[in-house]
Chains A and B, each alone.
Chain A
Amino acid sequence: MINIDQLFFSYPGSTFDLEIAQLSLAKNTATAVVGPSGSGKTTLLHLIAGILTPTSGSISVGASFVSSLSDAQRRSFRLEKIGLIFQDFELIEYLNVLDNVLLPCRIGNVLSISRSTRLKAERLLTSVGLEGHQRKPVTKLSQGERQRVAICRAMLANPSILLADEPTGNLDPVTSEQIMTLLLDAVRQHNTTLIMVTHDHSLLSRFDNTIDFAQFLTPVGKVDAHDVKEST
């Protein structure tokens, strides 16, 4: 369960403010976040992930109050509980496919490289159709393949929340559909909560909930509980 209460956030020196009075998202659900560019969709994901700290208010994920964690605790929380997927994949170009998937194990103290982690990474790659590509440089992969590597990286730690920021934004419709299927399968199979920013309204029917920033976010974004619509 994700709970946001009386959240206010503003970037220093910017006129942009994000205000969310109340927002609750149930466990193991898929939520789409839609809205115009600059409305605060990515900011919301970053606040949930603990990348950004709210100016006031609180965010809790399960029993963890993200907003009151220290920097180090938020980093550990991210590595342990959050899987992040970005629009431009954000893979490390000098690492091969397998090393990119294993990256969270190398950059923190939460996960460690072990035989079982490697096997899991290989299984994840196989599950997304990238078997035999483990040693390939990521620069040699297609856009769709890169996004699949990014998904495997996000799924490695069995995160309870998967935050995806326009993961299909740079993909063609066919690949986009494959990626969507993968993400939604992950929610069902791994008991994960998915929050995904998207501009593609045709995908909304596949989500359990939708947060639409379009209706109320200019100039000051404000989300209330009733703004979270249940998809039909």
Chain B
Amino acid sequence: MNFTNALYLATRSLWWFRGRAITIMLCLALTLWLPITVRLLLNQFKAEIVKRADATPLIIGSRGSQIDLALHALYFDSVSPDLTSMSEAAYIQETGFAVPIPVHIAYRTQSTNNVDGVPIVGTTVEYFEFRKLSLQSGEGLAILGDCVVGSNVARKMNLQPGDRILSAPKNAFNLAGDYPLRMNIVGVLAPAHSPDDDAVFVDIKTAWIIDGIGHGHQDLTAADVDQDILLDKTDQSVTASAAVLPYTEITAKNVNSFHFHGDESTFPVSAIIAVPHSRKDQTLLLGRYASDRSELAQCVKPAKVVEDLLSIVFRVERLIWISSLMSAIVTALLLGLVLLLSIRLREAEMRTMHKLGCSQFTIITLVGTEMAILSLAGLSLAIIAAWGSHWLASDWLRSLVF
């Protein structure tokens, strides 16, 4: 019997017993789908998480959890580490070993167009160069209050340059605290397939204004100011009551009134990305933070932190594999039983074939071909379903990770 004949008879038989064939095929597909999907998603997860970590040489932040620091700086994770200050960025600059890029992620935007708020990342222009972020439309950050939005934010919230977006106060009942700031969207970033797509970027000074460290208000030295709001006025200083409200939007008209109280070197930042000039500089900087600065801050290699994190994730994957293996064994046993029963049901047909001159080997070839077709169809269906699931779940996974 040649392969064409075996294939022909097997396909005719499968078509005739199509109910049973489809059931077996679906059982196989379902058993294979889960481990394939898990593998694809974990590969994507690993690739994306490792890619960004590998692309970020060093992160400096306050002492504490290295994982929190790395995840916050890399993926704008909502679990915020203890804050460090701009003095750390100044220190890195002074060493000459690396370019410091401060990032301050303390606030989120308000929900817009029924889409949950996204993190507001305060940083410097070096960040955009470092991450190779380009503009899809509009312009870059120019003045206080400007923001550029990630591609996903623009798409989901239906935003474009010229629109406004509000920051969300951390505590709505704190009257003396942070006021929401209405930011002007000046640009939309091109898709980067990274957490940058799901964030709003502002200059770090705008982030401090949202934080309440800087503000703008009416000129209290002007002649037309309401005297009732002034508590004390001398030639050197003016003290006003809480009735003086800060501006909630920065415009060309009021931008000059915005100012910061205190020393900028003490202003908070969540983390500082350090981009060393060379491998040697990186080692030297790491050494500094392991010795001189070890009491003040920590310097972590994100790739190492993520590697440690992934080892936990892939331990979980092993559990999934074991459970998939168990279900595969059960399915294989059930399929074996189905096969055995179907052979018994088709015993008469096989006896007829034998009487006509068919060998035992040919009968095994026929049944084998049927099983091969079913297995191949089940595997193909599982791969297609896994690919579909992966495609559907990749955005969800990214949102889960980042």
Contact = CB atoms under 8 A, between A and B. Distances in A.
Contacts of B355: 46, 49, 51, 78, 84, 86, 90
A86 B362 CA distance: 22
A interface, size bucket: 20 to 34
Interface in A89-143: 90, 92-95, 99, 103-110, 113
A193 B8 CA distance: 33
Given A49-B355, A78-B356, A79-B356, A106 B13 contact: no
Interface in B272-308: none
22 contacts: A46-B355, A71-B359, A75-B357, A75-B359, A76-B357, A79-B357, A84-B355, A92-B349, A92-B353, A94-B12, A94-B15, A99-B12, A104-B356, A104-B357, A106-B8, A107-B9, A107-B356, A107-B358, A108-B357, A108-B358, A109-B1, A113-B5
Contacts of B358: 75, 107-108
B309 to A, nearest CB: 55
Contacts of A92: 349, 352-353
Contacts of B173: none
Contacts of A72: 359
Contacts of A71: 359
Interface string B1-31: 1000100110011011100000000000000
Contacts of A90: 348, 352, 355
Interface of B: 1, 5, 8-9, 12-13, 15-17, 348-349, 352-359, 362
A49 B8 CA distance: 27
Contacts of B8: 106
A103 B348 CA distance: 15
A163 to B, nearest CB: 10
Q: Which 10 A-B pairs have the closest CB atoms?
A: A94-B16, A79-B357, A78-B357, A107-B358, A106-B5, A90-B352, A75-B357, A94-B13, A108-B357, A94-B12
A105 B356 CA distance: 10
A110 B357 contact: yes
Given A93-B16, A94-B12, A94-B15, A106 B356 contact: no
B133 to A, nearest CB: 62
A113 to B, nearest CB: 7
Contacts of A104: 356-357
A107 B12 contact: no
A78 B353 CA distance: 11
Contacts of A75: 357-359
A76 B359 CA distance: 10
Contact of B1 (A78, A84, A107, A153): A107
Interface of A: 46, 49, 51, 71-72, 75-76, 78-79, 84, 86, 90, 92-95, 99, 103-110, 113, 153
A84 B16 contact: no
B8 to A, nearest CB: 7
Contacts of B356: 78-79, 84, 103-104, 107, 153
B183 to A, nearest CB: 70
A88 to B, nearest CB: 9
Given A103-B356, A109-B1, 16 more contacts: A51-B354, A72-B359, A75-B357, A75-B358, A79-B356, A90-B348, A90-B352, A90-B355, A94-B12, A94-B13, A94-B16, A95-B9, A107-B353, A107-B358, A107-B362, A153-B356
A147 B355 CA distance: 17
A9 B71 CA distance: 84
A157 to B, nearest CB: 9
B93 to A, nearest CB: 80
Contacts of B349: 92-93
Contacts of A108: 1, 357-359, 362
A108 B17 CA distance: 24
A107 B5 contact: yes
Nearest to B16: A94
Nearest to B8: A106
Contacts of B1: 106-109
Nearest to B356: A104
A109 B359 CA distance: 10
Nearest to A105: B5
A124 to B, nearest CB: 16
Nearest to A91: B352
Nearest to B6: A106
B22 to A, nearest CB: 15
A227 B5 CA distance: 45
A92 B358 CA distance: 14
A76 B357 CA distance: 7
A107 B16 contact: no
Contacts of B12: 94-95, 99
Given A104-B357, A107-B5, A108-B362, A94 B352 contact: no
Contacts of A84: 355-356
B357 A107 contact: yes
Contacts of B354: 51
Contacts of B16: 93-94
A71 B349 CA distance: 20
The interface centre, meaning the residue of B1, B8, B357 with most chain A CB atoms within 10 A of its CB, is B357
